[in-house]
Amino acid sequence: MTTICRHCSKSKVNRPRGLCWTCYYTPGVKDQYPPTSKFARRGIGNFCGKAPLPPVPTTAAPGTPEKLAVLEQRARLKQALFHPADARYEGDPRPLEFLREQAAAMMACVA
């Protein structure tokens, strides 16, 4: 059974996404059809590049639902997943110290 191109409906499929060679390499056509491979990149966690640090660290301990929600939000915003001052255990004072230092720096700039 030979499948026909999803775009032009004329040529045999010989490229991914169910497209023929001509349609696949025509600018803009490939973007109209989603990947059909089970290995295709999906979801919000497939960002490659230098991500900016999140503006504030989280006090949520690793592995908690709160921390997972923070990681999901950071991935959605294309920020770095981890802040250097994120809490590393329950009750870690590191994030609060970071926020105090930031507030003191802001007050010093204002004065």
- Centroid of chain to Cα 63: 19
Let me know whether 36 and 70 are in one domain.
no
Token pair 């991500």 is found at 51
Distance CA 18, CA 6 (A): 6
Q: What pLDDT, on the 0 to 100 scale, is given for residue 21? A: 92
Q: Is residue 35 part of a domain?
A: yes
Domains contained in the chain, number: 2
Q: 36-84: per-residue pLDDT in tens?
A: 777 776 665 556 667 889 999 999 999 999 999 999 999 888 888 999 9
Distance CA 83, CA 58 (A): 8
Q: Is 31 helix (H, G, I), strand (E, B) or coil?
A: helix
- Percentage of residues in the chain having pLDDT higher than 90: 54
The pTM of the whole model exceeds 0.75: no
Q: Is residue 57 part of a domain?
A: no
Q: Is residue 48 part of a domain?
A: no
The helix/strand count (H/E) of the chain reads as 3, 0
Alpha helices in the chain (DSSP H): 21-25, 65-76, 94-110
Q: How many CB atoms lie within 10 A of CB 4?
A: 13
Q: Which residue segment(s) compose the domain that 2 sits in? A: 1-40
Q: Is residue 71 part of a domain?
A: yes
Let me know whether 2 and 36 are in one domain.
yes
Report whether 36 contacts 17 (CB < 8 A).
yes
